[in-house]
Structure 1
Amino acid sequence: MTRNAIIFHGTGGRPDVAWYPWLDERLTARGYRVERPSYPRINVDPIAEFLPGVLARHAVDAETVLIGHSGGAAMLLALLEHLETPVAQSILVAGYATQVNESEEPVLQETYDWDRIRENGGDLYFINSVTDPYGCDATQGRLLFDRLGGTQIIRDEGHFGDWDQRYDTFELVDRLIP
């Protein structure tokens, strides 16, 4: 069975920036079929309108690994809640579940079914930074960990890639994926 990985970029991002192409190459070399979809409307359209298109576009199974960065990680929470089948692993990088700054966050749901997310998320990892400039920080990672369990990893590495922070590789994420 072919293993699948889907890498979701964050708000205002693209699938060809930061560490996403590098991770795609690493996983492909290990036999994964990797998707790096482009979702320019992520965290622009309300999640209730946005999510059905994401669910329809991607097939997931028990061998799938989901990786989300920032707004893409926040979107993973809704995705995991609404999946019909559990995945193998979910990695939320700079993830968050509550309002983190003054910006609107239409990617967030008002409430979450934490039990369902936990059931569908497989091995859950939360990677956050104490120095995240947007508030997707260690406090948000702890909130996710407290509700979902899994593994929380705290770094001091900004937003793990941004318009002003080069982050072309991400060895840690690569090592987390079997």
Structure 2
Amino acid sequence: MTKNAIIFHGTGGHPDVIWYPWLDRQLSARGYRVERPHYPGINVEPITEFLPRVLASHDFDTDTVLVGHSGGAALLLALLEHLQAPVAQAILVAGYATRVNESDEPVLQDSYDWDRIRSNAGDISFINSITAPYGCDATQGRLMFDRLGGTQIIRDDGHFGDYNQQYDTFELLDRLIR
């Protein structure tokens, strides 16, 4: 069976920036079928309206790896809660589960079924930075880790790519994906 990977960009992001195309090439070379969808509605539209379109647009199964960055990582929490079957692996990069700054965060749900997320997430990892410019920092990573288990990795790498932070490769992420 073919392994699948879906890479979700962050708020205001695009699938062709920072490390997303690089990771696509790395995983494709390892035999993955990779999707890098463009979702301008991430963290713009309310999650209750946005999530059904995401669920209907992709296939999720035990051979699927999900990678989300920033708002895309927050999206993964809702996605994992509402899947009909578990995925192999979920990696949340600069993720968060609560409001982290003064911005409206429509990607967040009011509450989460942590047990359901845990049962659908497969091998789950959180990569956060101690110097995250938007508040999606190591504290947020710890909050999710405490509820879901898995692996928490804390770096000092800003936002792991942003409009003002070059981050064209992400070797750690490539090594984490089985």
Q: TM-score of the superposition, structure 1-length normalised?
A: 1.00
SS in 2 for 1:50: helix
* Residues 76-115 of structure 1: pairs in structure 2 closer than 5 A: 76-115=76-115
Residue 23 of structure 1 corresponds to: 23
Residue type at the aligned position of 2:76: L
Q: In 1, distance between residues paired with 2:19 and 2:169?
A: 5
Q: How many angstroms apart in 2 are the aligned matches of 1:60 and 1:145?
A: 23
Aligned partner of 2:50 in structure 1 is: 50
Please list every run of at least 4 consecutive aligned residues from structure 1 whose deviation after the TM superposition is greater than 2 angstroms: none
Match of residue 119 from structure 1: 119
Task: In structure 1, list runs of 5 or more residues that go unmatched.
Answer: none
* CA offsets 1:110-134 (integer angstroms, 9 cap, x no match): 0000000000000000000000000
- Taking structure 2 as the reference length, the TM-score comes to 1.00
SS of 1:65's partner is strand
Paired residues, number: 178
Partner of 2:150: 150
Aligned residues with identical type, % of pairs: 79
Aligned mates of 1:72, 1:113 — CA distance in 2: 18
Report how far residue 60 of structure 1 moved.
0.9
* Partner in structure 2 of residue 138 of structure 1: 138
1:97 & 1:175 partners in 2: Cα distance?
25
Matched, 1:167 2:154: no
> What amino acid maps onto 1:53 in structure 2?
R
The AA in structure 1 aligned to 2:39 is Y
Q: Determine the C-alpha separation between the residues in 1 that align with 2:106 and 2:41.
A: 10
CA RMSD of aligned residues (A): 0.3
- 1:13: how far off? 0.1
Distance 1:35 1:7 in 2: 6
Q: CA deviation at 1:92?
A: 0.1
Structure 2, unmatched stretches of 5+, are none
SS in 2 for 1:66: strand
